[in-house]
Amino acid sequence: MPKRWISQIAVLAAWLVAALLLGLGFGGTGWWLAGALALYLAHTLRNVYLLDRVLEGGKRRVPMFETRGLWAEVFGRVARLQGKARNRKKKYHRLLREVRESTGALSDGGIILDAAHEIVWFNPAATRLLGLDPARDIGNRIDNLVRHPDFVSYLAGPRAEPVVVPSPVEEGGWLAVQLIPYGQEQHLAIVRDVTREHMLETTRRDFVANASHELRSPLTVVSGYLDSLSDADDVPGGWSKPIAEMRRQVARMTQILRDLIELTRLEAAEARAPQTFVDVCGMLRILTNDFPPSDDRPRLRLRLETDAALLGSESELHSIFFNLISNAMRFTPAQGTVDVVWRADADGAVFEVVDTGIGIPEEQIPRITERFYRVDPGRSRATGGTGLGLAIVKHALQRHGATLSIESREGEGSTFSCRFPAARVALRSGAAQAAG
């Protein structure tokens, strides 16, 4: 038994012994004992009352009437607990103040959204960037305040990279918004002013587009003269080889310009492709017919496992399919095979090109969708490549909400898979169809 309890029992025993002795001396032992017990009870009740007040929070400080024994120790312990709680509270207040001050000093906007995308809290930068008002906008849905369609679709299915939308407050301003999920379906929206980056990007894009357009006209003229020269009978014989080489190079430059213009067009377009009905099976049959069987190229097989169509941009889907098929044909030896597969499942549809070609070194796979990145520039050029095909594929897929995955082994072959979301797939019968 703890010492404090022994001493408390000893105090009670001393009271009772004293009452007993007084009772023996003066008579009326029972009364003396009852009196002693009543006094002890009163003392205990008073301490219980004080403890109750202290625990209720009525008294800020614990009264220290007793310096020794059980009650002194109980009050001492309560005082220590109160001190600790006060310190903890002070610490939390300080932390809260620091969080408020630091989020207040942030130049990026921070908005806490609940599961229904209603605003729970935001910092002063969010007030400035989005024109939010704490009195009006707490509890409001964020898509009532930022109504741009790109933002609304981003909110429905957040991606890793932020969405860039025009500022609702500043004319000509641009904001990048990124949603970071946390807790129970809550999100932290980070809002950044990207007006300067957007302007620089637009200038760069316009420059590339303008330069490409400007270069096209002189190239057409040069190409025309070269065509005439190659057909002319009065050109000295020694010129036929240089003229043929010049024609090849001009054709290559024309193709590069065409791809550059296509790429800048894709970059400048709205984030989402239109939703035109595209008969994928028909398109793939025509496309694969452009590569009839021949001894100097691999065998191309088309496997249509679904008759699903896509809702998207016909020219962009054509560009995606053509680039991937022609890459597979160019990087696969004549004895190899290229399988083009179109299939659907519960999550959407997949366009896949599987080749048994030269493959890609593992460390270079993440880089091959960059502009002008080639594993072997010589081979790419020799087979008529511009180094822009996969960059176009990546952008066009993004605009369709689709993803590209690449698996490859050097010397064994590569698989390029494009996964289209169910929202972009238009199923007609769902029945599998034999290869066309």
Query: Any contact of residue 319 with ligand ADP (CB under 6 A)?
Result: no
414: contact with ligand ADP by CB under 6 A: yes
- Among 387, 398, 403, 419, indicate the residue that binds ligand ADP (CB under 6 A): 387
Among 264, 313, 319, 386, binds ligand ADP (CB under 6 A): 386
Nearer to ligand ADP, 305 or 352 (CB): 352
Report helix, strand or coil for 50.
Answer: helix
Judge whether 259 and 212 are in contact, CB under 8 Å: no
Nearer to ligand ADP, 328 or 349 (CB): 328
Give bridge partners of residue 164 from the DSSP assignment: 176
Instruction: Tell me which of 178, 264, 327, 356 binds ligand ADP, using CB under 6 A.
Output: 327
CA distance 316 to 208: 20
Helix (H, G, I), strand (E, B) or coil at 287: helix
**358 interacts with ligand ADP by CB under 6 A:** yes
Nearest to 327 by CA among 267, 380, 395: 380
Nearer Cβ to ligand ADP (262/355)? 355
Structure token digits, residue 416: 């390029």
Residues 57 and 49: beta-carbon distance below 8 Å:
no
Residue with tokens 């625990």: 55
Site membership for ligand ADP, residue 380 (CB under 6 A)? yes
Q: Give me the long-range contacts of 167-173 (CB less than 8 A, separation at least 24).
A: 167/129, 167/193, 167/195, 168/130, 168/131, 169/128, 169/129, 169/130, 169/131, 170/195
Q: How far apart are CA 406 and CA 373, in angstroms?
A: 15
Q: Identify which of residues 133 and 376 has a Cβ nearer to ligand ADP in the complex.
A: 376
**Taking CB under 6 A as the rule, does residue 356 contact ligand ADP?**
no
Check binding of 355 to ligand ADP (CB under 6 A): yes
Tally of CA atoms within 13 A in the half-sphere of 240 that contains its CB: 6
Nearer to ligand ADP, 264 or 414 (CB): 414
Interaction between residue 320 and ligand ADP (CB under 6 A)? no
List 109, 298, 348, 385, residue binding ligand ADP (CB under 6 A)? 385
Q: Is position 341 an interface residue for ligand ADP (rule: CB under 6 A)?
A: no
Which of 390, 397, 402, 418 contacts ligand ADP by CB under 6 A?
A: 390
Contact between 247 and ligand ADP per CB under 6 A: no
Residues 85, 91, 96: CA angle, nearest 5 degrees: 125
CB-nearer residue toward ligand ADP: 71 or 342: 342
For 111, the 3-state DSSP assignment is: strand
Residue among 154, 291, 321, 331 that touches ligand ADP (CB under 6 A): 331
Nearer to ligand ADP, 20 or 375 (CB): 375
Grouping H, G, I as helix, E, B as strand and the rest as coil, residue 123 is coil
Could you tell me the smallest distance in angstroms from the CB atom of residue 368 to ligand ADP?
A: 4
- Binding footprint of ligand ADP on the chain (CB under 6 A): 323, 327-328, 331, 355, 357-360, 368, 373-376, 380, 385-391, 414
